[in-house]
Structures are given as C-alpha cells and as structure tokens.
Chain A
Amino acid sequence: MLSLAASNTLIYSPRMDLAQSVTSSLKADHLACVRSEIELFRDLSFELLPGQLIQIEGANGCGKTSLLRILCGLSRPAEGAVLWQNRDIEHCRGEYYAGMAYVGHNNGLKSNLTCEENLQVSSIHNRFKPNVNIEDVLEQMGLDELIDEYAGKLSAGQQRRIALSRLLLTDAQLWILDEPFTALDHASRERMEGIFDQHCQAGGMIILTTHHHMMIPNTEVKLLKIAA
C-alpha cells in the first residue's frame, strides 16, 4: 500500500481493524511538487482508506500545504496523479468534490455574514447531510451563543471553529484539513479530535497537517513525514 521515496518516510501504525470499502480510497500516485523552481517533494505515494487518518508532518516550508492543495485539486502536481476511487481527480472533479470537504489556511468566512449565514452559504461548496440543522451543529461546536454574530467580530479561534463546523454539515466522506487546530484552545482541540474519531469510525477519511500530537484512540492513524 505504501510506496516510499528516499526523502519521504511514512510510518504505518495500525491501531484497529475497520470495515473498509474497497471502492472508496484516495491515492497519491508518485506525486512531485515544484514551487518557485524548488522541488518540495518527489515520488510521493500513499493510499487513504475509509476509517483512516493521515497526519502530515514536516518542517515549515517542506510542502505540507502544497501537498494538501494538490490532493484537493487546487494545484496541479509537477508529476504524478491523485486518484479518487481509482480515477484521476482531473477526470471526475464533480464526483470528487461531492465527496470531499476542505478547510484550508484561510477560513473561507465572510466577515459581513453571521455565523449562521456563513454556514448556510457553505451549501454552495458542499452537499449537506439530509435533515442537518445548523443550530445543532453550532451547539455541538460550543458556538450556539454566537449564531447571530458577524463572523468578522469573532476571535481567530472562534472563526476557526465556525470554519470547521462546515465539516459537520456536509456528507463528504473525505476531509482535507490544513492545520485545523490553529488558534483553537485546548477544549476545542479535544472536541475536534473526538469529531475526527467519530468521522473515521463512521467510515470517513481524513488527511490533515498539524504540529500537535493528536489523541484519537479509535482510529487508524498514519503519520506521513515530509523531509525538508
């Protein structure tokens, strides 16, 4: 399953056997990334299956964000391909985006919209779960008192939590998250770890970058280290 380049190490640490669907998988196939004529990584391959979480680690500037942007189709790799259900995402963008949710460095919130409105608007970007309730999601994230507040008036941590709340509204199986714990307090981080655990237990897949040591007891976590 794992193909490793000399400059990349992938430590495979299975913690639990999960029921896996062979049809749902995200594969990175010999990816290479070049930014400003500097090669960030080459020949990077891995596979993410339902119930698994990949945590990408590496020094600043090693290409973690670039890898996530390639995986979600925002950037193109210099070489290689990203496969969703064994099909190049370039050829099945609509299908891929219907099953994928991305939270990047920027929260994608409009400061002139309230928290509730920002989440309503996210139905443009992701298909919502049937019968999902924004108030319930905000309550789950501990943000129910801020429902009518403008996003621009919130703290950085609160804004991050609103951005992450989108994940609970969508029925996307794959979550791609760039530093999801940025600006979060300890309690919020623990809450998010619990949500990640639940998502993977339900057959979801997560790939994220973080410098934090995560406590996700019931999920198979792979650690992908990108060498600088």
Chain B
Amino acid sequence: MINNSQHALKTQLWRDFTLAARNKSEWMNPLLFFVFAAILFPLGIGPDTTILKQIAPGIIWVVALLAALLSLDSMFRSDYEDGSLEQLTLSPYPFAALVFTKVSVHWLLTGLPLILLAPLLATFFHLDGDATLILMQTLLLGTPVLSLVGAIGSALTVGLKRGSMLISLLVLPLYVPVLIFGANAVSASTAGLDISGHMMLIASLLALSITLAPLATAAALRASIG
C-alpha cells in the first residue's frame, strides 16, 4: 500500500509538471506580473534611493502576494472542469497527500521563481546584499504559506463560475500575517534590528499551514464536488 501510494504521488508530480511544461502561460503570467508590477514602482517614484529602500520590502511582498492570488484560480479549475478532480477524490490513496502534492507543484512553479527573481527586483530598489538575502529567506518561508492557504480558497470556490473574485475575499485576510511579518523582517534587518522573532513567526505559520491546509483543502474539494 505504501509503495502504491508513493507511486501515485510520484505520478501526480509527473502529471502536474508535464501539464505545466505544456501550458506555460498558466504559471508564467503571474511571474511576469510579479516582475513588471514591482518594476513599475521605482519607475513611478523616481531614483530616490532612501524612499525606494524604505518601501521595497512592502512593495515586493504585496506584489508577490498578488502574483500568488493570480495563480490560485487555476490550481484546481481545469481538473474540476474536465472531471479529473472527481477521479482524484475517488483515489484509494490518501487524498490530502495528493492535494499536498498538487499544492507543492503550484509552489514550485509560482513561489520558488519569485524567490529566485527577488535579487533582480532588489537591485531596482537599491536593496543591499544582506537585505536581499533576508528578503529571499522571508519569501522562502512565506510563499509556501501563500500556496497552502490559497489552496483552501481555491478549493472552496472551484465549483463557482466567478470564483476568482471570491478567492481574493476569502484568502487576502489570511495572507495579512505573512505580509506583515515578511515585510517587517526585511525592514527590521535594514534598520539593524533583530529579525529572529519575525522569522520564527513566519516559520510557525508555515508549520501550521503544512499540517492543516492539505486536510482543509481536501475537505473543501470534497464539499465543492459534492
């Protein structure tokens, strides 16, 4: 049974990566939005280094959050529409584990690239090396929370025709703690303050999300399909 479950999870990973490779626009568009939206701020505000440094953490985190929101609607949508999601819920293997695999692929395609693109954006905002590293660390801890929590909203609205607007309303309040601790950690580091508290809080949010979000998402998907 364990071997069968592992095989099912690996097949799920292969399936989602193959589909992503053949439908690049679904995950490329939020990334392009992330880059272009973040670049617009330095262009609009002007070359004042002090202001840019000050607003950089908040801007980059807000744009990352909006990019994550953009990608949420597609997390389960096509599987719902073509009947794959029905088949998935009827799998003999642990449904929450299959859901976790899907969310992991979502993060690897939409969250991880944000972290890798962060140094590029940091240069536009004149962030120094240490602040950029802290920014990347906060994104590394925070973006999986965005995917995991967002999956719950996506699962709850997958059966609705105009669910994307509702996802924002459901999920944005839950994103606020990640945004606050993520952006403040970078600001605190540029001010020379201790950031361990911020980092631990984001890490605890991640631990909580990894533990509970797949179960909540699986339950929400069953409710949406039923």
Q: Which residues of A contact B (CB under 8 A)?
A: 69, 72-76, 94-95, 97-98, 100, 102, 104-113, 117, 120-127
Contacts and interface: CB of A to CB of B under 8 A. Distances in A.
B93 interface: yes
B18 A108 contact: no
Contact of B226 (A74, A102, A104, A109): A74
B89 A74 contact: yes
Interface string B151-193: 0000000000000000000000000000000000000000000
A74 B19 contact: no
26 contacts: A69-B226, A74-B90, A74-B226, A94-B93, A94-B94, A97-B90, A102-B87, A104-B86, A106-B81, A106-B82, A108-B83, A109-B84, A110-B19, A110-B78, A110-B82, A112-B19, A113-B18, A113-B19, A123-B7, A123-B8, A123-B11, A124-B15, A124-B88, A124-B91, A127-B4, A127-B92
B92 A98 contact: yes
B15 A108 contact: no
B23 interface: yes
Given A75-B226, A98-B92, A125-B90, A110 B84 contact: yes
B92 to A, nearest CB: 4
Judged by DSSP, the binding face of A is: loop
Given A94-B92, A111-B82, A112-B19, A122 B226 contact: no
Chain B interface size band reads 20 to 34
Candidate in A69, A75, A94, A105 with the most chain B CB atoms within 10 angstroms: A94
A126 B91 CA distance: 6
B15 A112 contact: no
Contacts of B94: 94
